Structure 1
């Protein structure tokens, strides 16, 4: 049974920014993970996002398929994705909904009469998350001994590809087989912010090249986002900030709905 890990807790409201930047550096060098608190996203809004996510995923499949993903926005059905292509099993046991940048008018939305306030809730959540990520990036710049506005100067915040990804890992029958809600993978962008309903499942592998691989549990923290760096950030830092493989074991997960935003320095007309 993997041991639960402990990561630094980053308080986005803490006045001593250099101390917080040093904690971020520690978390990114050691694990590539940390917790983010006092991030400015209200618990009430997060609860509404959970509720609206559940409302959507509870719809009949034929209704959800009306919003099937295109332009990297919209619905992806159960087992339609498999992040670890080396597995011989069927696709990952999850369904998802992507919401991209609000300004490009490419997002797909449920009808207001079907899911009242769904769109407005998600748009507000997107804006709040992007604000939190913008503040976080200034601290990450400090942690790299750069100026606070470094990422702004290089254009990372000019029409960033900031995606919310709502995920549902459905209830599974008891089985001795490990079933993955999200098989082994790494995130592609700069950073990812995750918030969960508290049901366990997220794991990381710190030594990907070692066999057998050891997967360790990442516990959730009430009121906190779980933050992990992505491929792009690891590359930009020449491997100083470590990127680990992630997976989500699904056999213990019930109505686990994850929300994430990945902020990538990619032009709007490029694929994430």
Structure 2
């Protein structure tokens, strides 16, 4: 398994999208992960996202469970998801928080679950723009534009923390 230093960097600033796609493919085949560079999103914004994410995952379990997973959004506790049920007895060593499009299906109600401003005053103000920036970035690097064939927006962003982080 690759360490942080060994993960490939994929530069998406080049107008040669075929080269970027080839680099992404090779990184996924060789490592399973990669870093995108020159994507235009400021490092200070990522620091804010990590800060808010850390605050959320540091909350007591009962506070996080108020936002328990429903409608493909919200909090999933440690061991509640299993990547490989055939080989895992206890579940994955991670907690997660799922964020999706503000409007889901024909509903005018935001399906996302947000911590109250009293608990995490900057959470929603950070995570909504983060979701939008990641969606824009995905559409920039996805040359197939498969989302053009969808009648509803379905992209889900997962924030994760692993045991020991």
TM-score (norm 2): 0.80
Do 2:2 and 2:31's aligned partners in 1 also have CA atoms closer than 8 Å? Answer: no
Higher mean displacement: 54-63 or 16-25:
16-25
Q: Structure 2: where are the runs of 5+ without partners?
A: 105-109
Counterpart of 1:46 in structure 2 is 46
Change over 3 Å in CA distance of 1:155–1:112 after alignment to 2:
same
Larger Rg: 1
Change over 3 Å in CA distance of 1:40–1:78 after alignment to 2:
same
Deviations 1:138-194 (A, max 9, x none): 2xx4xxxxxxxx536x525x5431111111223xxxxxxxxxxxxxxxxxxxxxxxx
Counterpart of 1:83 in structure 2 is 83
Q: Structure 1: where are the runs of 5+ without partners?
A: 142-149, 171-253, 256-272
Aligned residues: 159
Counterpart of 1:240 in structure 2 is none
Equivalent position SS for 1:98:
strand
Counterpart of 1:71 in structure 2 is 71
Equivalent position SS for 1:121:
helix
Q: Structure 2 matches for 1:1-272, cutoff 5 A?
A: 2=1, 9-27=9-27, 33-87=33-87, 89-104=89-104, 105-138=110-143, 141=144, 151=146, 154-156=148-150, 159-170=152-163, 254-255=164-165
Change over 3 Å in CA distance of 1:12–1:159 after alignment to 2:
farther
Which structure's relative contact order is higher, taking Cα pairs within 8 Å and 6+ residues apart? 1
Change over 3 Å in CA distance of 1:136–1:80 after alignment to 2:
same
Change over 3 Å in CA distance of 1:111–1:89 after alignment to 2:
same
Change over 3 Å in CA distance of 1:77–1:28 after alignment to 2:
closer
Partners of 1:33 and 1:73 in 2: CA distance = 24
Do 2:12 and 2:37's aligned partners in 1 also have CA atoms closer than 8 Å? Answer: yes
Partners of 1:73 and 1:164 in 2: CA distance = 9
Change over 3 Å in CA distance of 1:159–1:44 after alignment to 2:
farther
How big is the alpha-carbon RMSD for the aligned residues of Structure 1 and Structure 2?
2.6
